[in-house]
Structure 1
Amino acid sequence: MQSITVAAIQMVSTPLVAQNLAVARHLIAEAAQAGAQLIVLPEYFAIMGQQDTDKLAVQEVFGVGPLQDFLAQAAREFGIWLVGGTIPLRSELPDRVMNSSLVFNPHGECVARYDKIHLFGFDNGVERFCESDTIAPGTQVVTFDTPFGRVGLAVCYDLRFPELFRSVGEVDIWLLPAAFTATTGRAHWEVLLRARAIENQCFVIAPNQGGVHPTGRETFGHSIIIDPWGKVLSCLPEGEGVVLAELKASQLTRVRSTLPALTHRIFK
């Protein structure tokens, strides 16, 4: 791994795609100007609809569409690695989309795609969420190689399934864009993210939606960057903004050599 400055973008996305893209571009520019070479947007950055079905109206075919054009252009313009949180891509199932995280290199080329595997389901009598009503699940864990190390992709609810992270061997940086609810976030967000960083001895970059949305939905925020020892390097509690940190290759090497837990695994 090589040391790199990274950014997690926190948003409070609305049902208006154009408005969300304008905010995203402003925050990407801010992060790039601050020296970030890898920038990660949150889940649903482009749209948080009045209804869950609203995202069906802006779905795109993989490789074609204004959301993908926006990401490619921003990556080229700022010369960065850009991860488009998630956008809705067409699936083979009627009335369902893939909730997909796309990675663009500094040339604006899409070099990785991950379709969210675990779909959130929650009902406490007050709040109810059922992503499987409008989303088709992915099936493949995705990692990709960069000049700064091996990177893995996961999304939001995937955080609760440690076997996903362990299934692909050693990864230097895990990216986890999310729209974690305030209810579950207060209880589990940081502790689960730190656990994934500690047990996989890797950096974790987790940009979240962060506030009360026009729809009334409340997301937890606390976009966060964590080192392989489980130390929080930077965090933004709420509202729109940029979370910046330097990921030091020496820290990754130190943790893995001092406590070589990954080489001590018995069950694989």
Structure 2
Amino acid sequence: MNTTPASSPPAPVAALVQMTSGIDPDANLAAIDRAMGEAAAGGASMAFLPEMSLLLDRDRARSAPHIAREADSPWPAALQALAQKHGLWLHSGSIPLLADDGERRVNRSHVIAADGSIRARYDKIHMFDVTLPSGENWTESSAYAGGEALTVVETPLGKMGLSVCYDLRFPELYRAMVDRGATLIAIPAAFTVSTGEAHWHVLMRARAIETGCHIVAAAQSGTHADGRETYGHSVAVDPWGIVLADAGCGAAAGDGGYRLSFAPVASAAVDRARQAIPLARSRANRRITL
């Protein structure tokens, strides 16, 4: 009689694509194609792109000819075709599109299944309107409309909540995702260097610990064609706050503009973290009303 316990199936794997996206969507799309091929060959179940994966350009007049309503944009269909080509689920990071009313832009994420179907959309809610100690000034709301809907979607890695970059600083958003069943949260980003050095890793680990979720954050990195610099350090964090992958900064030489990292996303890690620190039970038992 065989008494050897059955081994658990391997955890599905996330592939984080760190990019230095520029002002040429075709070049960015070609880099994504190469990265997805490498991710599929490496056994990933799902690839994650950074914020503004197909176009990163501060010059709004120059970028305007590329920006259309989703129904008129070639970009979602191009990403759907890549998901089918590589047999891989894809999180688009985000792409700039015109809002349906045509007045302002939206910063929109798509979750695309391996059969090419779009399973979810999410428009970045919180606009990055800040003046940093470094002197950088950003006013996203002058061109972009913030989203209004929370999105959680089933994926091969678990039930995933969607967010983008500056959303990271609003923990109530992530608590609402957990209340809707999320065990995994995507946070694609194009973080500035100064805020990244100060806050990136601690915020990513905090969101993982306080939600008991895996965090997958693909990032932009390096010096871009529009002149900006981004922090990089695409990270995957487990529900206990352990960093499973960190891509560092920059893009590897000769890689066509991306750096790839792999991380397992084990559902058992969610169970262990939530059993050890039972936040939901503690909330239910608290004696004050917030």
Bin of the TM-score, shorter chain as denominator length: over 0.9
Shift of 1:165: 0.7
Please list the CA deviations of residues 163-195 of structure 1 after superposition, one character each: whole Å capped at 9, or x if unmatched. Answer: 111123141100011101101111111101110
Aligned to 1:200: 211
Do 1:56 and 1:95's aligned partners in 2 also have CA atoms closer than 8 Å?
Answer: no
* Aligned partner of residue 100 in structure 1, secondary structure: strand
Q: Who is 1:248 aligned against?
A: 266
The CA deviation at 1:92 is: 4.5
- Which of 178, 189, 196 is residue 200 of structure 2 equivalent to? 189
Summarize the Cα distance change of 1:54–1:165 in structure 2 as closer, same or farther, 3 Å threshold.
farther
Structure label with greater radius of gyration = 2
Q: How far 1:22 sits from its partner (Å)?
A: 0.9
Deviates most, 224-233 or 57-66: 57-66
- Distance in 1, Cα, partners of 2:22 & 2:140: 18
Contact 1:59/1:87 (CA < 8 Å) preserved in 2?
no
- Residue in structure 2 matched with residue 259 of structure 1 by the alignment: 277
> Are residue 158 (structure 1) and residue 167 (structure 2) matched?
yes
Looking at structure 1, the residues matched to 190 and 218 of structure 2 have their Cα atoms a distance apart, in angstroms, of 8
Superposition TM-score, scaled by structure 1 size: 0.94
Asked if 1:109 corresponds to 2:132, the answer is no
The answer to whether the Cα contact below 8 Å between 1:56 and 1:88 also exists between their aligned partners in 2 is: no
Partner of 2:49: 41
Rounded Cα–Cα distance in structure 2 between residues aligned with 1:231 and 1:109? 33
Paired with 1:191 and 1:53, the residues of 2 have a C-alpha distance of 36
Percent identical pairs in the alignment equals: 37
The answer to whether the Cα contact below 8 Å between 1:56 and 1:96 also exists between their aligned partners in 2 is: no
Residue 62 of structure 1 corresponds to 70
Runs (5+) with no aligned partner, structure 1: none
Equivalences for residues 1-268 of structure 1 within 5 A: 3-92=11-100, 95-124=103-132, 126-168=135-177, 169=179, 170-238=181-249, 239=251, 240-265=258-283, 266=286
User: What is the CA–CA distance in structure 2 between the aligned matches of 1:5 and 1:44, rounded to whole Å?
Assistant: 23
Instruction: Compute the TM-score of the two structures, normalised by the length of structure 2.
Output: 0.87
Distance (whole Å) between structure 1 residues aligned to residue 166 and residue 17 of structure 2: 18
Instruction: Work out the CA distance in 1 between the residues paired with 2:27 and 2:227.
Output: 17
Name the amino acid aligned to 1:149. G
C-alpha offsets along residues 205-226 of structure 1, whole Å, 9 cap, x if unaligned? 0001011112221100000000
**1:147–1:21 distance in 2 versus 1, CA, 3 Å:** closer
Deviation at 1:256, TM superposition (A): 1.4
Displacement of 1:233: 0.2
CA–CA distance in structure 2, aligned partners of residues 89 and 40 of structure 1: 19
Q: Secondary structure at the match of 1:219?
A: strand
Q: Any idea what the Cα deviations from partners look like across 1:96-133, whole Å, max 9, x if unmatched? A: 21110011001100010000000101223621111111
Asked if the contact 2:212–2:274 (Cα under 8 Å) also holds between the matched residues in 1, the reply is yes
8 Å CA contact 2:45, 2:156 repeated in 1: no
Shift of 1:94: 5.0
Aligned partners of 2:46, 2:233: CA distance in 1, in Å? 19
CA distance 1:53–1:133, change in 2 (3 Å):
farther
Deviation at 1:65, TM superposition (A): 2.8
- Which residue of structure 1 lines up, in the alignment, with residue 254 of structure 2? none
Q: Distance in 1 between matches of 2:143 and 2:61?
A: 6
Task: List structure 1 runs of 4+ shifted beyond 2 angstroms.
Answer: 52-57, 59-65, 92-95
